């Protein structure tokens, strides 16, 4: 294993670090833009890079369906195929198999499913298959295949889940081919049972990974439960490896998770919001469809340096009303820019030992409770 993580500073539980990969370095806490099907929806890769994004996430489920691991490998891997030449993390496909496909059967060996994309052909995904596809994609960070439960779940079901996740993590780790600048992360499960979270963390750290994800959260539980599970898990993880909270989240989720020792995030929120007329600002979110923006000459957020914020809210509103593609493009880039500005501010505040103050100020403005 040879993904290099350097912890540069800490401030309370918050950590400031960097991860070095074969395709360059990214600074942590990091927000990974979601590039589902080898594209961050509605943006060119140059536009993604301009936001300050340093690492993107590819979805193994979508890519194995279209265009397929073999094709991406033949085209020289995901970096060359998509034109994103920086670090790439891929998920295992497990989450989408369970949320998007028609799950046929979960077995000890792997998961059997069908998908609407290819007209209901039966697929079988074992931990070894997932790792193999991620090799084909040339992913810098491979995720071990896990099973993500819906919450709430009965304790007995979660106990079984945790043990199978550990066995699958072992098999994923064994299937992973060590290469310089590439690594594999294990995923801690355990739902909202503190003792099972602890058990899962122990099982995974015993195997040993380049980094650890906290999975199975942000699936409907209250924010406090999520924060509690993170706070229970991170102290059990090695300090010299990055920690990744999967699929999270809102700016406030991210601030709370950084405070509890998380280094990496991904979420469709900024990009999906950009395609549904929602704009993030330092004073909260705006629905750009709203008629009050029709003649508003001010930018979406006057603190933002993105291309959309060189234009007026009136123009963005006009594009949305006319269903112009550019509306989705400009808002997506703006939202990702906003997230990356937040991450930059978080990193600086940790470096300067001011994270708690920054968090308090940000939340006060963002929630309007200043």
* Minimum distance of a copy of itself from residue 28's CB (angstroms): 27
Considering only residues 53 to 72 of the shown chain, the ones binding a copy of itself according to CB under 8 A are 66-67, 71
Given 164, 314, 354, 363, the residue binding a copy of itself (CB under 8 A): 314
Bridge partners for 188 per DSSP: 214
Of 107-115, 128-136, 307-315, 347-355, the segment contacting a copy of itself by CB under 8 A is 307-315
Given 329, 335, 340, 349, the residue binding a copy of itself (CB under 8 A): 329
* Minimum distance of a copy of itself from residue 159's CB (angstroms): 39
Of 4-12, 204-212, 214-222, 309-317, the segment contacting a copy of itself by CB under 8 A is 309-317
Considering only residues 21 to 50 of the shown chain, the ones binding a copy of itself according to CB under 8 A are 37-39, 41-44, 46-47
Q: Is 294 in the site for a copy of itself (CB under 8 A)?
A: yes
User: Any idea which residues carry the catalytic annotation?
Assistant: 91, 266
Residue count of the chain = 370
| Residues 103, 61: Cα–Cα separation, whole Å | 13
| Residues 253, 159: Cα–Cα separation, whole Å | 27
Full DSSP string of 253-291: HHHHHHHTT--EEE-SHHHHHHTTTEEEETTEEEETTSG
Full DSSP string of 116-129: TTTTS-EEEE-HHH
Q: First vs last Cα of the chain: how many Å apart?
A: 47
Tell me whether residue 66 or residue 105 sits nearer to a copy of itself (CB atom). Answer: 66
Bridge partners for 33 per DSSP: 56
CA dihedral 219, 224, 230, 231 (to 10 degrees): -170
Q: What residues make contact with a copy of itself under the rule CB under 8 A? A: 37-39, 41-44, 46-47, 66-67, 71, 74-76, 81-83, 294-295, 297, 307, 310-312, 314-315, 318-319, 321-322, 324-326, 328-330
């Amino acid at each position: 294993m040879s993904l290099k993580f350097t912890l540069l500073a800490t401030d309370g539980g918050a950590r400031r670090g960097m991860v070095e990969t074969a395709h360059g370095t990214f600074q942590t806490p990091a927000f990974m833009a979601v590039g589902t099907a080898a594209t961050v929806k509605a943006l060119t890769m140059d536009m993604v890079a301009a936001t300050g994004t340093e690492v993107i996430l590819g979805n193994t489920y979508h890519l194995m369906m279209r265009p397929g691991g073999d094709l991406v490998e033949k085209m020289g891997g995901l970096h060359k195929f998509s034109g994103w030449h920086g670090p790439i993390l891929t998920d295992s496909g497990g989450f989408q198999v369970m949320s998007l496909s028609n799950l046929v059967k979960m077995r000890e060996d792997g998961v059997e499913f069908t998908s609407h994309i290819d007209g209901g052909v039966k697929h079988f995904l074992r931990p070894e298959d997932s790792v193999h596809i991620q090799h084909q994609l040339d992913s810098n960070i491979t995720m071990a295949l896990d099973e993500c439960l819906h919450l709430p779940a009965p304790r007995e079901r979660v106990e079984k889940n945790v043990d199978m996740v550990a066995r699958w993590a072992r098999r994923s780790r064994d299937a992973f081919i060590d290469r310089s600048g590439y690594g594999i992360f294990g995923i801690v499960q355990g739902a909202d049972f503190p003792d099972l979270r602890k058990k899962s963390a122990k099982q995974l750290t015993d195997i040993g990974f380049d980094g650890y994800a906290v999975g199975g959260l942000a699936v409907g539980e209250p924010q406090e439960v999520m924060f509690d599970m993170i706070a229970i898990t991170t102290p059990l993880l090695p300090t010299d490896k990055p920690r990744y909270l999967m699929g999270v989240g809102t700016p406030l989720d991210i601030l709370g998770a950084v405070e509890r020792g998380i280094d990496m995030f991904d979420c469709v929120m900024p990009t999906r919001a950009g395609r549904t007329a929602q704009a993030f600002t330092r004073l909260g979110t705006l629905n750009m469809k709203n008629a009050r923006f029709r003649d508003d000459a001010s930018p979406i957020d006057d603190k933002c340096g993105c291309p959309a914020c060189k234009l007026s809210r009136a123009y963005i509103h006009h594009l949305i009303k006319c269903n112009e593609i550019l509306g989705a493009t400009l808002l997506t880039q703006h939202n990702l820019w906003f997230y990356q500005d937040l991450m930059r501010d978080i990193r600086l505040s940790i470096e300067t030992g001011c994270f708690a103050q920054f968090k308090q100020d940000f939340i006060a403005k963002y929630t309007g409770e200043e």
